[in-house]
Amino acid sequence: MPNSSPRPVTTHDVARRAGVSQATVSLVLSGNPRARVAPATRERVLEAAEELGYRPNILARGLVRGKSYAIGVVVPDLTNPFYLDVVTGAQRVAAEAGYAVLPGDTRESTPIRHLEALRARQVDGVIIDGVGAAALPHDALSELKVVVVDEPSERWPGVASDALAAGRLAAGHLVGLGHRRVAFIGPATDVHGFRMRERGFFQALRDSGISLPHEWLRRTPPTVSGGLAAMKALLATSRPTAVFCANDLIAMGALKAALKAGVDVPRELSIIGCDDVEMASVVTPELTTIAIPARELGARAARLLIRQLDGQEVSARPGKPLPVRLVRRATTAAAPGGTGEREQGTAGNG
């Protein structure tokens, strides 16, 4: 097969067909929509472009405008549906604004190397979520517009969910169900969102006069296998009646470990996660969790970034954090022996 693809049509082709200059074509097709072009001429150009099937060459446009119309999204783990949702949210609004998004995670790499690669691709900006942007060396982000997710910063604008409230909600839910022997499983990390979830949780516990022995604070990577191992270790030593997991992956791993060990969830042990990924309602029993608006986070981050790229100044002052909410499902119930005070117990699943 010859496959001698016909040379793509350029502004010059359109110009020739419309009987005008290339500059005029460019004026009509790209620039300020109301450049000074006679209506009749404009019409002819549009017509010619249409007929020829003209499609602007983004590379050329980017070259002259000094922009690539692409943005990167850096997350720790695309396999985690939460981050994937963030990416998806960003992708939607980016697409509308004519930007492509290059998602990538740092599983097989480091944030620095990944940012390096993104800069080599001339991305105009990046959205950073969950990789501790604050700790990045200063020059890894130079020449780059940045928006951070769930991490307040004076250097860059950002969007955030109310992670503190997430932790407090989880604690409040458990305490309301009468739990006082409460454990926590989360990552050892300097990622702000995780730390806030944790802080909110312990704050609220303290407010209720609850403190927990240090062996009930388990550190583990925020993954299913991490949660599995942590819960297994936890069960080997002692028996809390409830546990808050810093995200749903951990929670699902923890749930699995508990069931495997023959623990009756939720009657002997309540488990509550955070994120509300789709799978949370698929596992059995369904996972109680705190819903975080991941797609909305991604969408807003993208909007913020693109606004910057389009030249508008954007303040780095954080806006109101996005609200989170408790999703009662089947892995939490009244503490064994105790009676729930404010809470009604779990939603039935029949």
Partner DNA sequence: CGTGTTTGCCAATACGTATTAGCTAATACG
Partner DNA sequence: CGTATTAGCTAATACGTATTGGCAAACACG
Contacts with a copy of itself by CB under 8 A lie at 5, 8, 55-60, 62-63, 68, 70, 78-79, 81, 84, 88, 91-92, 95, 100-104, 108, 117, 119-122, 142-143, 224, 252-253, 255-256, 259-260, 278-279, 282-284, 349
Among 23, 95, 261, 347, binds DNA (CB under 7 A): 23
Q: Are 140 and 115 in contact (CB under 8 A)?
A: yes
Q: Which stretch binds DNA (CB under 7 A): 51-59, 247-255, 273-281, 302-310?
A: 51-59
Q: Which is nearer to DNA, 55 or 121 (CB)?
A: 55
Helix axes of 192-207 and 163-176: crossing angle, nearest 10 degrees: 40
Q: Which is nearer to DNA, 31 or 213 (CB)?
A: 31
Q: Which does residue 78 touch among DNA, a copy of itself, none (CB within 5 to 8 A, set by kind)?
A: a copy of itself
Q: Using only C-alpha atoms, what is the Rg of the chain?
A: 26
Nearest Cα to Cα of residue 81 among 333, 281, 350, 320: 281
Q: Does 11 bind DNA (CB under 7 A)?
A: yes
Q: Which does residue 108 touch among a copy of itself, DNA, none (CB within 5 to 8 A, set by kind)?
A: a copy of itself
Q: Are 240 and 183 in contact (CB under 8 A)?
A: yes
Alpha helices in the chain (DSSP H): 11-18, 22-29, 39-52, 58-65, 81-96, 111-120, 163-176, 192-207, 224-237, 248-260, 294-309
Q: Give the binding-site size for DNA (rule: CB under 7 A).
A: 32
Q: Which is nearer to DNA, 142 or 315 (CB)?
A: 142
Q: Does 12 bind DNA (CB under 7 A)?
A: yes
Q: How far is the CB of 222 from a copy of itself (least distance, A)?
A: 14
237, with CB counted inside 10 A (0-12, 13-18, 19+), is exposed
Q: How far is the CB of 202 from a copy of itself (least distance, A)?
A: 28
Q: Which residues make beta-bridge pairs with 245?
A: 185
- The C-alpha atoms of residue 19 and residue 70 are separated, in whole angstroms, by 34
Q: Which is nearer to DNA, 61 or 232 (CB)?
A: 61
Among 65, 107, 113, 206, binds DNA (CB under 7 A): 65
Q: Does 31 bind DNA (CB under 7 A)?
A: yes
Q: Which is nearer to DNA, 38 or 236 (CB)?
A: 38
Q: Are 77 and 223 in contact (CB under 8 A)?
A: yes
Q: How far is the CB of 104 from a copy of itself (least distance, A)?
A: 7
Q: Which does residue 68 touch among a copy of itself, DNA, none (CB within 5 to 8 A, set by kind)?
A: a copy of itself
Tokens describing residue 126: 């990046």
Q: Which residues contact 186 (CB under 8 A, 6 or more apart)?
A: 194, 197, 198, 218, 219, 220, 222, 245, 246, 247, 250
Q: Does 97 bind DNA (CB under 7 A)?
A: no
Q: In this structure, which amino acid lies at residue 7?
A: R
